[in-house]
Amino acid sequence: MDEKKLFEDFKRAVVEHHEFFKNSIPLIASENVTSMAVRRFYLSDFGCRYAEGKVGKRFYQGCQYIDVVEDVAVKLTKKIFGAEHANVQPISGVTANIAAFFALAKPGDKAFSLSVPCGGHISHHRFSAAGIRGVNVTDYPFDNESLNIDIDKTRKLALKEKPKVFVLGASLYLFPHPVKEIVEIAEEVDGKVMYDASHVLGLIAGGEFHDPIKEGANVVTASTHKTFPGPQRAIILSERSLAKKVDSAVFPGVVSNHHLHSLAAYVVACMEMMEFGKSYAKQIVKNAKALAEKLHELGFNVVGENVGFTQSHQVAVDVSEFGGGDPVAKMFERINIVLNKNLLPWDDLSKTENPSGIRIGVQEVTRLGMKEGEMEALAEIMWNAVNGKRSEDELRSEVVELKKEFTTIKYAFEESEAYAIVESFLNGL
């Protein structure tokens, strides 16, 4: 092994990764950038510590201040989302979903989830969280016109199959799911509704999407780093009656220690969303709509033409006519536009390698300050790219030029303010 070469490769990759993202338009719908204030906490001593168990009931000494941090995280989470109970310990969305399935179902129980082409996340299925709990999953009937769950067919199927868990929320998530209607069906068959809000958590916090808790979901799981611009971890919200089951499914079920530096960072992200969440979420949805409309006007086959394209941070485009999602996503990467290929509701799983679609998320570029004008400019570059109207070198230069003015994080506290803000906030609690 040439260790010197490995180290050189590592150094180069670190530098070039950061250079690439500085000069790129990031459109992966599951990512976001954290503020410098949030990042400051990644480096704190909390990241060197352990805190197994509950606040005030730990298995390690030295947790008295960590207890305060976790208590604040729980209180802010309950306040932002109007939840009776919050568990802030899961270290990822999949971990949260495994815990939720353990809290809500027994091995052999049935669940309804959206198929992956219709937007369901892998953890809603047998090859991940649902399968780990031994839950048997049936796909919801889906309506490709309204791009949503077909309620009448779902009700008929539910009365026959009597699922214990109805999973809502999605990875390809353009329109709010019919939570109230699914809650009614769940009540008829004695099931529970588990809503995976990972993608839209920031939109919910900002009041720009529906509110699954108000609409009756029993458990809400969510990662905290997509439209909610926090560190990479997750939360579970639930009604009070499920609190014990959720908590013991999380610890000792799926976490021991729970990454305390990012827990402290999450508190700062919560405070930022309480301050800036409304305006940030509003601009995200405006940007997604503006991008979808311009892409459509230029000639792209944007998904959802008859239903207004999107109500979230996402836009989906069927790019079959340009060779499919795989070559198109790779071509965009070559010109510094970063997005992913995506199955669409009319694809079957045999198209996983080269699905019909691409998925675009505008939450990160919005956080960097882009508005409707930049969405239009971006759409033009994308159209010229798929039509080969300019060379890739020219298009890359246009991307770099467009990105130049958008390299600092908006809707956020300054790093220099972070400690003072945390202090004043804690005083006010």
Site residues, ligand DSN (CB under 6 A): 29-30, 93, 121, 171
Minimum distance between the CB of residue 27 and ligand DSN, rounded to whole angstroms?
11
Minimum distance between the CB of residue 236 and ligand DSN, rounded to whole angstroms?
16
For the chain, the residue count is 429
Q: What is the DSSP letter of 140?
A: P
Minimum distance between the CB of residue 171 and ligand DSN, rounded to whole angstroms?
3
CA distance 167 to 103: 13
CA atoms within 13 Å, Cβ hemisphere of 48: 4
Q: Which two tokens stand for residue 198?
A: 């990972």
- Judged by CB, which is closer to ligand DSN: 186, or 343? 343
CA distance 333 to 74: 39
Minimum distance between the CB of residue 122 and ligand DSN, rounded to whole angstroms?
7
Minimum distance between the CB of residue 394 and ligand DSN, rounded to whole angstroms?
30
- Judged by CB, which is closer to ligand DSN: 168, or 186? 168
Q: Where are the alpha helices (DSSP H) in 108-259?
A: 129-132, 151-161, 179-188, 201-205, 243-250
Minimum distance between the CB of residue 118 and ligand DSN, rounded to whole angstroms?
13
- Judged by CB, which is closer to ligand DSN: 121, or 133? 121
Which distant-in-sequence residues (6+ apart) come within 8 Å of 115 by Cβ? 139, 140, 142
CA distance 197 to 224: 9
Minimum distance between the CB of residue 121 and ligand DSN, rounded to whole angstroms?
6
Minimum distance between the CB of residue 248 and ligand DSN, rounded to whole angstroms?
24
CA 135 to each of CA 93, 130, 246, 278, 300: distance values in angstroms, whole numbers, following the listed order:
18, 5, 17, 37, 39
- Judged by CB, which is closer to ligand DSN: 83, or 343? 343
- Judged by CB, which is closer to ligand DSN: 110, or 148? 148
- Judged by CB, which is closer to ligand DSN: 29, or 135? 29
- Nearest to 197, CA basis, from 35, 369, 214: 214
- Judged by CB, which is closer to ligand DSN: 93, or 304? 93
Contact indicator for 356, 324 with CB cutoff of 8 Å = yes
Minimum distance between the CB of residue 65 and ligand DSN, rounded to whole angstroms?
31
- Judged by CB, which is closer to ligand DSN: 29, or 379? 29
Radius of gyration of the chain (CA): 22
- Judged by CB, which is closer to ligand DSN: 201, or 331? 201
CA distance 374 to 380: 10
Compute the C-alpha angle 382/387/388, nearest 5°: 100
Torsions phi, psi of 165, nearest 5? -130, 135
